[in-house]
Homo-oligomer: A and B are copies of this chain.
């Protein structure tokens, strides 16, 4: 591929996704690049400067860069899209030689197809910066789930937050600011010390079984089975359990149901605030493109 010298020389395909891709496409077109789109909900009024393609292969034709959605790959190798799109060798062959794919996470099928065609893959699912930029949106979605499902206010009540990663820490800061009495359960003493600086109490995860019943609301962001039989057995009927984590999740849902407890698996929170989150994803994608094509990763 003769390297494009500027955004104006660049052809970008955006294939699959949800409402966030609308904002990503709009911002991509704002750079001056040629942008074609397919496979995500496209507004009736169109998106300025973005060409709606008639198929995935049409969208990919001669593109330098293709963006696949952040939710990554489903079981059958298809990407998350408004119709079934499998990014196999036949489809990727429409890309320009030396093209690049930017996406959340790739599965093995996509990886081998790309390798055979000499197409570079850039995964950003574990990009710490992007996760933090999305965190306020996800936390607001979680706050909504809590408000929808409680008979008490968050203000003035005791909430246990299990886990203190990117989402957990922003959730704790927000709940404390809303007046909740927050206790963090975390294995890592440094995370517990951080929780302390934010005005939360903390405990070792091992103490969940002994202490969980003090909390009418327990919300976990740890993808490990911490809310297990023992913890669930310790709870009263009034407890609300919310799981923010990816499969296999944190809560034993079937056991919670048998015990008559309300347990909610809050999924797809990443779709909250698609304009804000689409913009932050584009911020990260733009840095990846700039760095890959023009060797300049100055993030300022």
Chain A positions near chain B (C-beta within 8 angstroms) = 19, 128-130, 132-133, 135-137, 139-141, 143-144, 147-148, 150-157, 170, 173-174, 177-179, 189-190, 192-194, 196-199, 203-204, 206-207, 272-277, 298-300
Contact = CB atoms under 8 A, between A and B. Distances in A.
A143 B152 contact: no
Contacts of A156: 136, 196, 199, 276
B136 A155 contact: yes
A192 B283 CA distance: 13
Nearest to A200: B179
8 contacts: A130-B193, A136-B155, A141-B147, A174-B179, A178-B178, A179-B199, A204-B298, A204-B300
A151 B19 CA distance: 9
A160 B88 CA distance: 49
Contact of A129 (B141, B190, B272): B190
A297 to B, nearest CB: 9
A141 B152 CA distance: 11
A300 B137 CA distance: 33
A144 B149 CA distance: 11
Shortest beta-carbon contacts, A-B, top 5: A177-B177, A132-B193, A136-B155, A204-B300, A179-B199
Contacts of A129: 189-190, 192-193
Contacts of A190: 128-129, 132
B144 A148 contact: yes
A150 B206 contact: no
A207 B198 CA distance: 29
Nearest to A151: B275
A276 B193 contact: no
A207 B299 CA distance: 11
B153 A170 contact: no
Contact of A135 (B157, B197, B272, B277): B197
A133 B98 CA distance: 51
B189 A178 contact: no
A137 B179 CA distance: 12
Contacts of A299: 189, 192, 204
A102 to B, nearest CB: 17
A129 B196 CA distance: 10
Contacts of A273: 150-153
Given A143-B147, A196-B133, A157 B276 contact: yes
A19 B151 CA distance: 9
